[in-house]
Each structure stands twice: as C-alpha cells, then as structure tokens.
Structure 1
Amino acid sequence: MDIRSLQVFLSVADTLNFSRSAGQLHLSVSAVSRSIQRLEELLGHRLLARDKRTVQLTPAGRDFRDYARRAVADWDRTRRQLGAGEELVGEVSLYCSVTATYSILAPILEAFRSRHPGVDIQLHTGDPADAVDNVLSGQHDLAVTGRPTSLPRRVSYLQLLESPMLVCMPAADCAVRRLAVSGDSAAPEFDWSRLPFIFPERGTTRDMLEQWFEEQGIQPNMYAQVAGHEAVVAMVGLGLGVGIAPELVVRTSGLAGRVSAMPVWRPLPALGIGLCAPRASLEDPRVKAFWDVAASTFAPAV
C-alpha cells in the first residue's frame, strides 16, 4: 500500500465518480479502477459499492477513508520535517490553465526560482473549474483559479489580480456576428435570447453568466457547453456563437483578433484570479514560500 494509492482512493471517496477523479489525477479511468481494486484485495473488504449509475462508500470504505486521511497527512508532515533545513528542497505541485502559465505564473516562477532554487515546480494544466477539487483531493498543493462563488472552509484563497469579463462575438463576418450587430447590445431592450451562446461547462464564470441572465430575465439560447475559457474564445472565433471570457484570456489566447467585445447595458462583474490551497498545505514551508512569493509579486504598487 503506497501513498499514491491512498491519494487515488481519497479522490474517489470525495468525488464518488471514477471519471471525474481520473481527470483530476491525470490518469485513465481503468487505472483508477485498478488502484481501488488492488486496495480492496489487499484489505479483503469492498471499499466502494458501485453500479452503472452511482458510487457509494461502504462502511469499510468510510473507516478506511479516515485511515487514509491520517496516513496522507502524516506523510506530508514527515516530508515537511525532513525538508525543514535552512535551504528549501523538494517539489511543489501546481495546477492551472494554459493561459495562467503565461500571464500569471511567469513572473512568480522567475522570482521563486531565484529565491528557492532547490524546489522544483511540477506544473499541470487543465480546466480552472477543477482547481479547488484538485487541491482538496491532495493531487496538487496549489492551483490558480478564478475566485469560487463558494469557497470551502478548508481552502485558503489569495487574490492576485482582477480581469474584466467580456461578452465576445466573432470578429469576422458571419451569421452570428450579423445577428449580434443587428441591434444595440448596450440597450436594455436588446434581445439576447436570439443569440447562440457558448457556455462554460461549470465553475465561477458559469455561475456568473447564469446569474447575469437571471437578473435580466433572459432565457438564454445555449448552443454549446465547453471546458475552459480558451475553448469558449476559440468557438466564438470560429463563428459558432457568442460567449463570455476574462479579458486576460482573450488578450493572451492568440485569438484576440478573431473575437470582438460586445457593449452591454449591464456589465458582468470582474473575475478575481488567484491561488488556492488547502489550509493544511500552507504548513509546508515550500508551499508557503510559493504563496508568499506570489503575494509579493502581485502586491499593489504604493
């Protein structure tokens, strides 16, 4: 029984979904399933009751979850103690979107490497909507994400910057653009329900968009749901619909010339972007060092 197997089990115990845990852990569904089966064979007990639709912890699974949490916490504490010398060594696992690697992480990493050359950064990219789940499952120490609508108590959040949210339409002449410019989108009576919308699958900006429509009493015409802001911008640039994205993503996506911002009567709120980490992880000197470097890198000028 190794720590990795315990982390896989804890992820599935948290999500109760093999596919979702596989995505968080960057493993195949079959690899996650095999890891759980090996644990069950080793223990001689079923840990998860699963059928075609649901996954539930068995009584043995609930007991083992408590053990696994203690074991992983003890392992992390031992790693911290062994690495508590004058010079920090080891690694920090970080999760973020592709856009964040260029626009946010670059200056942080440059400063961090100069101060702590003995610490390696293990970088993983994906949908920022998965950021909080990924750090809570223990897969990563830190993640860059938009500020969640509801922040779990076990998670600390450090805001680094804000980005205005844009409603984007295709820049090239196409049916969607002609529909978008056929009226005054900045007027309160503009009929947004005529436009095909590209929705984020989930996450903070999905909540933001749904609230924006609800406050205006608009029934949206949902054309598609995609994972990640970059995918929203790409689909809008292809002329498939309109959508929302942080201005930061539009500017750094390489597709800024293929989309245009639409003026709106009621602007969406700006998106806070920052670091999140389990509160317990900040006891690790390496994680805390990265957190502090990020805070000083994006500290407001005085």
Structure 2
Amino acid sequence: MDLRTLELFHHLAGSLHFSRTSQSCNISPSALTRVIQRLETDVGKQLFIRGKRCVELTYAGQVLKKYAEDVLGRFERLQGELSEDAALSGQLSLYCSVTAAYSILPQIIPRYRTEHPGVQIYLETGDPAQAFGRLMSRDADAVIAALPAKPGPQISFLNMAVSPLVFIGARHYPDILVTDSQGNPDWGKIPLILADKGLSRERIDLWFLENAVVPRIYSQVTGHEAIIALVNLGFGIGLVPRLVLEKSPLCRDIVALENMPKLPSYEIALCTRDANLSNPRVRALWDIVAGES
C-alpha cells in the first residue's frame, strides 16, 4: 500500500465519483478501478458500494479513510521538516473564483513568486461553492472563498476582505423590478436568477423562509459571473457579492438595487486544512497573507 494508492483512495473517498477522481488525479477510470480493486484485496474488505447512480463508502472504507488522512498528513509534515533549510520547490495548488483570481491574488502572488521562485503555482478557478469540497478532497492546498457560518474543525483561515451581498438589475431593463403598492419588491412577480448552491443561495433561502416569501425563481446557475450575464440580458434580477459586480466587465450596465433585503456580508478568506500548515509551500503563502492583514 503505497502513498499514491492512498492518495487515490482518499480522493475517491471524498469525491465518491470515479470519473471526477480520475480527471483530478490524472489517471484513467479503468486504472483507478484496478487500483481500488487491488487495495480491497490487500485489506480484505470491500471499501466502496458501487451503484448505478452513486458510490458510497462502506464501514471499512470509512476506517481506511481515517488511516489515509493520518498517513498522508504525516508525510506532508515530514516533507516540511526535510525542506526547512532548503529553497522551496514543488507545486502549490490554489482554487478560487474567477473574480478572486483577478482581484485578490494580485495582492499576494507577485510577492510569493519573488520570494519562492522555485515553487510552481497551479491555479484552478471555478464555482466558489465547490471550494471547501476541493480543499477537503486534497484537490487544492488552499482556497480563497467566502467563509460559511461554521468552516469546520479541520479548517484554518485568514480573513482577506469583506463584500456585501447586493441585489442587481440591468440598467436597460428597469421594468424587471416589480413593486407592490407600498414600493416593496413583489417577489411573486420578479424573476430571480440565483446561484444553484453556495453561501449566497443559503442566505437568500433563509431570508425567504423567515419572511414566509415564495419567490419566483427564473434560473439557477453556477457562479456569480453567470448571474450577472443573465441579469444583463434582462432575464431578471440577481444576488451577488458587490466585489464580483465591481470587477465585472458588465458593471456599467448593471445597477445595485435599493430598498432590498439586507443579508450578511461575505467574509472572504484564505483557507486550508490544519494539516496543510506543516507544508512549507502553504505556510509561506499563509505568512504572506498574515503579514498583509
């Protein structure tokens, strides 16, 4: 049972998706299947229940996942101790939204590259709702994301920015916003474009629930940039962090709407697993962000 096998198993135990793990770990699905089959033979237990639509961990799989986390964490700490006196090298993987990539990373990455030119930075951008999943499945060493109410017991974070959540509409389609006789939004008539999941969706869903509102949801999309694009085309109003709106190429055609519900702001942070702080490449990034805070 080597480290590569444990890494593949641990990733699959987090993703529960053979195709996703094979793509992320650069291994063919058939080869991944053979690795897992050999591992099951070695431990003498079935590790996954494979259904037509889902994959689940067995009890043995859950036990082995904890073992894999311990071994991989120990190896990361060993690498850190062995490289303390040497110039940093290897790869640092980061995950963040497109907006964070061109609004937050420029504050820290140039200094990181100057101080540690031997480190290759691998950046992946995507839906911020996937950030913590990427982190826990070891797809990323660190992520820049909005903090949930409870980040989790294994997560360390450094606050980097605060961004209010704002409702937005297209400047050229003012009639999209329908109000009642008192000037309040008529949620039953306003087409809404919302994130399909993530923190902004959780907060607006909670507001609707607490205020007994049944909204008219026109579209549910992945990513705040997609919300802005659809709002700009006049399909409805949306909800995005102000930072995303300010950095959007469409910002001149979009307006932040007034007299709308006030939702808790986004707290944007650099996040990593506690165990990753023993990785010198992650620690170097952490120290730079801490110094800027």
Within 2, Cα distance between the matches of 1:257 and 1:32? 46
Structure 2 unmatched ranges of 5 or more: none
Q: TM (normalized to structure 1)?
A: 0.86
Counterpart of 1:231, as a letter, is: A
Kept after mapping to 1: 8 A contact 2:225/2:244: yes
Kept after mapping to 1: 8 A contact 2:176/2:234: no
Instruction: Check if 1:295 corresponds to 2:290.
Output: yes
Instruction: Check if 1:38 corresponds to 2:35.
Output: yes
Counterpart of 2:38, as a letter, is: E
Instruction: Check if 1:183 corresponds to 2:179.
Output: yes
Structure 2 counterpart of 1:9 = 9
Within 1, Cα distance between the matches of 2:102 and 2:172? 27
Structure 2 counterpart of 1:261 = 256
Kept after mapping to 2: 8 A contact 1:198/1:226: yes
Within 2, Cα distance between the matches of 1:120 and 1:169? 40
Q: Would the alpha carbon gap of residues 241 and 34 (structure 1) be closer, same or farther in structure 2, given more than 3 Å must change?
A: farther
Cα offset for 1:46?
Answer: 3.5
Within 2, Cα distance between the matches of 1:42 and 1:280? 25
Within 1, Cα distance between the matches of 2:63 and 2:260? 54
Cα offset for 1:169?
Answer: 1.1
> Which aligned pairs between 1:209-228 and structure 2 lie closer than 5 A?
209-228=204-223
Structure 2 counterpart of 1:205 = 200
Cα offset for 1:189?
Answer: 3.7
> Which aligned pairs between 1:98-247 and structure 2 lie closer than 5 A?
98-173=98-173, 177-180=174-177, 182-183=178-179, 189-247=184-242
Within 2, Cα distance between the matches of 1:124 and 1:10? 20
Within 2, Cα distance between the matches of 1:43 and 1:164? 48
Q: Considering only aligned residues, what root-mean-square deviation do their CA atoms show, in Å?
A: 2.6
Cα offset for 1:42?
Answer: 5.1
Kept after mapping to 2: 8 A contact 1:100/1:144: yes
Q: TM (normalized to structure 2)?
A: 0.88
Cα offset for 1:77?
Answer: 2.3
Cα offset for 1:158?
Answer: 1.2
Structure 1 unmatched ranges of 5 or more: none
Cα offset for 1:87?
Answer: 3.1
Within 2, Cα distance between the matches of 1:2 and 1:127? 33
Within 2, Cα distance between the matches of 1:158 and 1:184? 43
Number of aligned residue pairs: 290
Kept after mapping to 2: 8 A contact 1:7/1:137: no
Cα offset for 1:33?
Answer: 6.4
Counterpart of 1:183, as a letter, is: T
Within 1, Cα distance between the matches of 2:193 and 2:2? 42
Counterpart of 1:144, as a letter, is: I
Q: Percent identity?
A: 36
Within 2, Cα distance between the matches of 1:34 and 1:223? 42
Within 2, Cα distance between the matches of 1:217 and 1:64? 45
Residue deviations 1:68-101, cap 9 Å, x none?
2233223312321332115333321111111111
Residue deviations 1:257-281, cap 9 Å, x none?
2322111243222211111100111
